[in-house]
Structure 1
Amino acid sequence: MLTNIRKFLKQPSIKRWVLKFLVVAFAFSSLVFLSILVFNIYYWGRIYKGVYIANTYVGGLVPEQAKNLLYNNLNGLNKTTLSYDNQNYDIYLDDIDFSYDIDKSVSSAYKLYRSDNIFYDQTNSIKSLTKNVVLALEYKLDEQKLKDNLSIIAGQITTNDPVFPSLNLVNGEVVIKRGVPGEEVDYQKLISLIRKNLAIQQKNILPIPVTKIDKTLDDEGVKKLEAKAMSLVNKGLSLKFEYYNLGLIDKDLVPLILLNNDQQDNLDVLITRIEKEVNREPQNSVFVFQERVLEFSPSKDGISVDKENLRKLMLQNIEELADGDEKSFEIEIPVIRTPAEITTAEVNNLGIKQLIGSGSSKFVGSIPSRIHNIGLASSKINGTLVAPGETFSFNQRLGDVSAFTGYKQAYIIKDGRTVLGDGGGVCQVSTTLFRAVLNAGLPVVERKAHAYRVSYYEQDSAPGLDATVYDPLTDFKFLNDTEGHILIQTIFDPKKFSLIFEIYGTSDGRKSQITKPIVSAVISPPEDLYTDDPTLPTGTIKQVDFKAWGAKVSFNYSVERNGEIIYEKTFISNFRPWQAKFLRGTGPAN
């Protein structure tokens, strides 16, 4: 077979035909190569033929020529016009910080068919001789300002606004409004039209698109919502992150089950509210020390609420509350962290590296003088360094408590009575520090409970977690048994009636545990006591002391490190029943 092919090719006529074919093929290839070479040389540094930027033809131009041409063609464009119901509405481009990016637009046109794929580029650049390509203009604008302008225009046009369904719990009764169908501006579609119009440089008047909206509830939908809402009555949900705590009761939960996938619903609004309280930028540490700490800011991660996960968690917990017998759930708010650039450990050599414990208390309902005293006393403790092996004394650190040192008169417990005295409210500070010490796992050397249960200390805590002080008789003391210094910081917020103690140091892996306080031997308060007072006008009643139930409260405190209990103690508080006392005026009427 191979021999026959060779004989065939050796024939003179065949040789001549093959030779002619090769010559023609070479000539054609040379012509094609030469044409491509000439084409590429001509368009070297130029935009390929057939290319438009919006409605401006820039084919064959060098980039600088294309820029000048675009500048001239775009000059005078200062607004885009919308129309609805034969009425025009202008959006001026300066009002939305609009500007064309001509450099970027021309760069995109020049880079067309100039990539790393040689075959693709060469094929399509040659096709541009007969095929036109229209590129959009590159531009910048302020999206929020555009939305604000559209919102104003939407408020001016006349449509039948829809009324969305609502769901509330009022005095234990489920109130459902079905909603009313209507129309509203389709913002997403309108913004898309505006963007396209600006990108291709058309001066068309754009019709404002309006969408029919019907979210009304039918009978079945109302019945399901009502049943689910009733299953949430007397139930609650608590959301926590660090010191932020948001408690939701049944009337707060019920509106959240009415979801709207197309628009912001009540749950979205709540999450936005949580974001404002929780989100923060990263905070670098600051440490200034001169005999005592003059300025300290711990490093803190930047925090942003993980909205998607929080929404899922809330919906899941609400479903479980509605379907089960549990009365409440607690959610730790999921967050996304961004580390600080300068950490606490990098700004000192005292072993102050991290937060090792914290405690908080509330004082809602306090009189102004008591709030003043809480702020003053907490400032005296703020910045205190406790050396390794040192026992901290609250009274010693606080110093003299009197009018001479800036304290005002507020209610204190003295000689079995509640009376006005200098420094009322100082025990709020010692109580809060006691809670921080427990949380940090430090040994408590001395602590005494109040004579009776004080309502301030049970606003955000179980009973029995208080510590009274009264120099020189009663003190609060704890031991720093860590290997480094510890730093005590206070956060006093009179607007939120909140006091927080933070203890910083070096963690040695210890973990503290506090059992739930056991309340026993409850005794009702004595009958109210009325005492005649001739200094008060007849008919006047003035309360000078307040009733409180007596009880014995105990809890166990233990500290574990590496699987070993290193400290444990049982705290017992014996609260006396307290009598409400009134002064009854017997003097002459004014």
Structure 2
Amino acid sequence: MLTNIRKFLKQPSIKRWVLKFLVVAFAFSSLVFLSILVFNIYYWGRIYKGVYIANTYVGGLVPEQAKNLLYNNLNGLNKTTLSYDNQNYDIYLDDIDFSYDIDKSVSSAYKLYRSDNIFYDQTNSIKSLTKNVVLALEYKLDEQKLKDNLSIIAGQITTNDPVFPSLNLVNGEVVIKRGVPGEEVDYQKLISLIRKNLAIQQKNILPIPVTKIDKTLDDEGVKKLEAKAMSLVNKALSLKFEYYNLGLIDKDLVPLTLVNNDQQDNLDVLITRIEKEVNREPQNSVFVFQERVLEFSPSKDGISVDKENLRKLMLQNIEELADGDEKSFEIEIPVIRTPAEITTAEVNNLGIKQLIGSGSSKFVGSIPSRIHNIGLASSKINGTLVAPGETFSFNQRLGDVSAFTGYKQAYIIKDGRTVLGDGGGVCQVSTTLFRAVLNAGLPVVERKAHAYRVSYYEQDSAPGLDATVYDPLTDFKFLNDTEGHILIQTIFDPKKFSLIFEIYGTSDGRKSQITKPIVSAVISPPEDLYTDDPTLPTGTIKQVDFKAWGAKVSFNYSVERNGEIIYEKTFISNFRPWQAKFLRGTGPAN
């Protein structure tokens, strides 16, 4: 067969035909190559033919020419116009910090068909000779300012605003409003229209899109919501993170069951409120020491609430409360952490590396002088360093408590009575430190409970977690049995009626535990006592002491490290019943 092919090709006529074909093919290829070469040489440094930036033709121009042309065409553009119901509304571009990025726009046009894919680039650049391409203008604007402007405009146009359903618990009764259908501006669609119009410079008056909203509840929906709401009566949910604690009772929980996935609902509003309280920036540590700690700020992670997970957790817990027999649940608020750049351990060599314990108390209802004394006394303890093996004495550290040292008169327990005396409120400070010491797992050397139950110390705590002091008879002491120094810090917040103690040191792995206080031998207060007082006008009654129930309260405190109990103690408080006392005026009437 090969022999026959060779014979065929040796014929003179065939040889001439093959030669002609090769010449023509070579000539055509050369022409194509030359055309492509000329094309590429011409457009070297130029934008390819057929390219528009918005409505400005820039094909065949060098970038600088294209920039100048765009500047001229865009000069004077200062607003975009919206329309609704034959009424126009202008958004001025300066009000939304709008600006075109001409350099970037021209750069995008020039880079068109200039990638690393030679075949793709060459094919499409040649197609541009007969096919136009329109590129969007690059620009920048302040999205929030645009939304703010649109909100103002939306408030000016007349639509039948929808009324969304509401659900509340009022005096134990479920109150449901079904809602009313209506219309509202479709912000997402409107912003998209504005962006597109600015990008391609159509210069059209844009109609404001309005969408119909109907979230009204039908009979079945009302019935389901009512049943769920009633199942939440007398239920509670607590949300906690560090010192933040938000308690929600039934009237707070019921509105949260009305979930709206399209609009901001009650749960979104609550989570935003939590964010404002919990979120914080990372905090670098500061440590200034001259014989005592003059300035200390521990390093703290930046915190932002994990909104999606918190919403999921809350809905899940509310559902479980509604369906089950449990009366309350507690949620640890999920957060996203950002580490500080400078940690506590990096700014000192005393072994103060981390938070090892904390305690808190509330003093809502305190008179101003008592609040003043709490702040003053806590400032005396703030910044205290306790060396390894040292026993801390509250009284010794606090020093003299009198008017001479800045304390004011507030109520104290003295000689079996509640009377005004210098330094009333100091026991709030010793009580809070006692709680921090328990949390840190440190040995308590000396502690005495109050003579009777004080309402301040049970605002956020079970009874029996208090510690009274009265120099020189009664002190609060604890031992630093760790291998490093410990530092005591106070956070006093009179606006929130809150006091917090934080103890910093080096954790050795110990963990403390206290059992739930057991209240027994409860004794009712004696009958009210009235004493005649001739210094008061007749008919005047003045209460000078307040009743309190007597009780015995006990709890166990244990500290474990590496699976071994290293310290344990039982704390017993014997609170006497306390009699309300009144002065009855017998003197001349005013």
TM-score range, shorter chain: over 0.9
Taking the aligned partners of 1:71 and 1:16, their CA distance within structure 2 comes to 62
Q: Note the alpha carbon deviations across 1:61-86, whole angstroms, 9 max, x for none.
A: 11111000000000011111111111
Taking the aligned partners of 1:498 and 1:526, their CA distance within structure 2 comes to 32
Taking the aligned partners of 2:30 and 2:132, their CA distance within structure 1 comes to 28
Taking the aligned partners of 1:564 and 1:9, their CA distance within structure 2 comes to 102
Relative to 1, partners in 2 of residues 1:24 and 1:572: Cα closer, same or farther, differing over 3 Å? same
Structure 2 match to 1:354: 354
Q: Note the alpha carbon deviations across 1:125-155, whole angstroms, 9 max, x for none.
A: 1111111010111111111111111111111
Structure 1 match to 2:68: 68
Work out the percentage of aligned pairs sharing the same amino acid.
99
The SS at the match of 2:159 is coil
* 1:37 CA displacement: 1.4
Structure 1 match to 2:227: 227
Q: Note the alpha carbon deviations across 1:94-145, whole angstroms, 9 max, x for none.
A: 1111111111111111111111222111111111111101011111111111
Q: Note the alpha carbon deviations across 1:458-512, whole angstroms, 9 max, x for none.
A: 0000111100000000000000011100000000000000000000001111111
Q: Note the alpha carbon deviations across 1:250-285, whole angstroms, 9 max, x for none.
A: 000000111111110000000000000000000000
Q: Note the alpha carbon deviations across 1:543-566, whole angstroms, 9 max, x for none.
A: 111111111111111111111111
Taking the aligned partners of 2:17 and 2:242, their CA distance within structure 1 comes to 91
Q: Note the alpha carbon deviations across 1:388-413, whole angstroms, 9 max, x for none.
A: 01000000000000000000000111
Taking the aligned partners of 1:300 and 1:512, their CA distance within structure 2 comes to 23
Structure 2 match to 1:482: 482
Q: How does 1:28-427 map to 2 (within 5 A)?
A: 28-427=28-427
The SS at the match of 1:539 is coil
* 1:527 CA displacement: 0.9
Of 372-381 and 576-585, more deviation after overlay is shown by 576-585
* 1:20 CA displacement: 2.6
The SS at the match of 2:350 is coil
Taking the aligned partners of 1:482 and 1:9, their CA distance within structure 2 comes to 104
Stretches (4+) displaced over 6 A: none
Taking the aligned partners of 2:337 and 2:536, their CA distance within structure 1 comes to 61
The SS at the match of 2:211 is strand
What TM-score, normalized by structure 2, do the two folds share?
A: 0.99
* 1:350 CA displacement: 0.6
- Work out whether 1:576 is the aligned partner of 2:573: no
Relative to 1, partners in 2 of residues 1:409 and 1:23: Cα closer, same or farther, differing over 3 Å? same
Q: Note the alpha carbon deviations across 1:191-247, whole angstroms, 9 max, x for none.
A: 111111111112211111111111111111100000001100100100000000000
Taking the aligned partners of 1:424 and 1:110, their CA distance within structure 2 comes to 79
Taking the aligned partners of 2:416 and 2:6, their CA distance within structure 1 comes to 129
Of 140-149 and 471-480, more deviation after overlay is shown by 140-149
* 1:23 CA displacement: 2.4
The SS at the match of 1:45 is coil
Taking the aligned partners of 1:17 and 1:340, their CA distance within structure 2 comes to 83
Taking the aligned partners of 2:335 and 2:2, their CA distance within structure 1 comes to 78
Of 21-30 and 372-381, more deviation after overlay is shown by 21-30
The SS at the match of 1:44 is coil
Of 472-481 and 149-158, more deviation after overlay is shown by 149-158
Taking the aligned partners of 1:458 and 1:19, their CA distance within structure 2 comes to 110
The SS at the match of 2:567 is strand
* 1:415 CA displacement: 1.1
The SS at the match of 2:289 is strand
Of 367-376 and 190-199, more deviation after overlay is shown by 190-199
* 1:42 CA displacement: 1.1
* 1:19 CA displacement: 2.8
- Work out whether 1:515 is the aligned partner of 2:515: yes
The SS at the match of 1:204 is coil
Taking the aligned partners of 1:553 and 1:21, their CA distance within structure 2 comes to 112
* 1:586 CA displacement: 1.3
* 1:8 CA displacement: 3.5
The SS at the match of 1:435 is helix
* 1:327 CA displacement: 0.5
Taking the aligned partners of 1:573 and 1:2, their CA distance within structure 2 comes to 116
The SS at the match of 2:342 is coil
Of 73-82 and 27-36, more deviation after overlay is shown by 27-36
Taking the aligned partners of 1:581 and 1:3, their CA distance within structure 2 comes to 135
Taking the aligned partners of 2:7 and 2:589, their CA distance within structure 1 comes to 146
* 1:585 CA displacement: 1.1
* 1:45 CA displacement: 1.0
Taking the aligned partners of 2:236 and 2:488, their CA distance within structure 1 comes to 35
The SS at the match of 2:586 is strand
* 1:3 CA displacement: 4.2
Q: Note the alpha carbon deviations across 1:559-584, whole angstroms, 9 max, x for none.
A: 11111111111111111111111111
Relative to 1, partners in 2 of residues 1:43 and 1:478: Cα closer, same or farther, differing over 3 Å? same
Of 184-193 and 265-274, more deviation after overlay is shown by 184-193
Q: Note the alpha carbon deviations across 1:357-381, whole angstroms, 9 max, x for none.
A: 0000000000000000000000000
Taking the aligned partners of 1:443 and 1:23, their CA distance within structure 2 comes to 104
The SS at the match of 1:237 is strand
Structure 2 match to 1:560: 560
* 1:5 CA displacement: 3.7
Aligned-pair RMSD on alpha carbons? 1.0
Q: Aligned pair count?
A: 590
Of 52-61 and 539-548, more deviation after overlay is shown by 539-548
* 1:29 CA displacement: 1.8
Taking the aligned partners of 1:589 and 1:51, their CA distance within structure 2 comes to 101
The SS at the match of 1:578 is coil
Taking the aligned partners of 2:540 and 2:299, their CA distance within structure 1 comes to 56
Of 118-127 and 292-301, more deviation after overlay is shown by 118-127
Relative to 1, partners in 2 of residues 1:3 and 1:572: Cα closer, same or farther, differing over 3 Å? farther
Q: How does 1:468-547 map to 2 (within 5 A)?
A: 468-547=468-547
Taking the aligned partners of 1:142 and 1:505, their CA distance within structure 2 comes to 47
Taking the aligned partners of 1:16 and 1:242, their CA distance within structure 2 comes to 96
* 1:18 CA displacement: 2.8
* 1:2 CA displacement: 4.1
Q: Note the alpha carbon deviations across 1:322-352, whole angstroms, 9 max, x for none.
A: 0000001000000000000000011111111
Of 391-400 and 150-159, more deviation after overlay is shown by 150-159
* 1:44 CA displacement: 1.1
Of 7-16 and 174-183, more deviation after overlay is shown by 7-16
* 1:532 CA displacement: 1.1
Of 394-403 and 257-266, more deviation after overlay is shown by 257-266
* 1:589 CA displacement: 1.3
* 1:57 CA displacement: 0.3
* 1:528 CA displacement: 0.9
